[in-house]
Amino acid sequence: MALSREDEKLQRILTDAMLIALEDGIITDDEMAILKQLKMDVKELQERIETVIKEGDLTDEEKQELKTLKKKILKNAYDTSSRDFNITKDERALISGLVKLIMFD
């Protein structure tokens, strides 16, 4: 089964986030926690997008809901990285990359 255009975009977000985390050759436990949370959040976004597509035209309310879900992904990444009260340079790079991948897609 071929991936839809939206599925490809969401898969690219996951792949690109993994590449960002791997830039230094190491994925720390905190980076892995961010990636795991990201995977769950992207799945939620994907399910919502699929529902919207099935319903037909995208309403302003649905556009806002999708934007809110994207913001939630970034908040969850930040919250996950700050659990230990220390956001490392690598974690900041991952979150910054997510902002570019998610909000400007």
- Tens digits of pLDDT across the chain (105 residues): 455 777 788 889 999 999 999 999 999 999 999 999 999 999 999 899 888 888 888 889 988 999 999 999 999 999 999 999 999 999 999 999 999 988 765
Residues 6+ apart with CB under 8 A from 99: 74
CB 16 within 8 A of CB 102: no
